[in-house]
Amino acid sequence: MRSARRHSRLARAKTKASGKSERDMALIDEAAAVRDNAYAPYSAFRVGAAVRAGSGAVFTGVNVENAAYPEGTCAEAGAIAAMVAAGETAIAEVAVIADCPDPVAPCGGCRQKIAEFAGPDVVVTMGTVAGARAQLTVRDMLPGAFAKSSMDKA
């Protein structure tokens, strides 16, 4: 319990220092906390992701590499799969973090996966373990997203 209180105070302190809302910081913190669990024996590039569902529940994921390289899974895809497995189908917010020079952006496939469950104004926070942050909306991150309506017959 003491550790949880300490973590909570630390998160609030970081929130005040950065000017970000406690809710925003909590999601990027969730992604950072799970990042160390990534399975990345080939690239050593560990990524953590967290999605907040419409209900407010948070789901996390990590990248999982495979010796057959294309068979790996991205962190964002893992978080989305966990959300859907729990019966949720709406993303309210996304955070992704890695140890890299600039805030890590979701790959093209993950941008499309996010767009499947998130509205165009949903914010995606991208970060580095060093503390750099960037934010984009789904609309800005994936203009012209392929959607269910794309399959409507004329």
Tell whether residue 100 is among the known ligand binding residues.
no
CA angle 35, 37, 43 (to 5 degrees): 75
Tell whether residue 11 is among the known ligand binding residues.
no
What is the rounded distance in angstroms from the CA atom of residue 28 to the CA atom of residue 108? 20
Tell whether residue 39 is among the known ligand binding residues.
no
Query: Of 30, 76, 88, 93, which residue is the catalytic one?
Result: 76
Tell whether residue 67 is among the known ligand binding residues.
yes
Tell whether residue 93 is among the known ligand binding residues.
no
Query: Which amino acid would we find at residue 150?
Result: S
Tell whether residue 66 is among the known ligand binding residues.
yes
Name the CA dihedral angle for 79, 84, 85, 86, rounded to a multiple of 10 degrees.
100
What is the rounded distance in angstroms from the CA atom of residue 74 to the CA atom of residue 48? 9
* One-letter-per-residue 3-state SS of 47-83: EEEEEEECCCCEEEEECECCCCHHHCECHHHHHHHHH
* 30 in catalytic set: no
Tell whether residue 51 is among the known ligand binding residues.
no
Tell whether residue 110 is among the known ligand binding residues.
yes
Annotated binding site: 63-69, 74, 107, 110
Annotated binding site for Zn(2+): 74, 107, 110
Annotated binding site for substrate: 63-69
**Catalytic residue positions?**
76
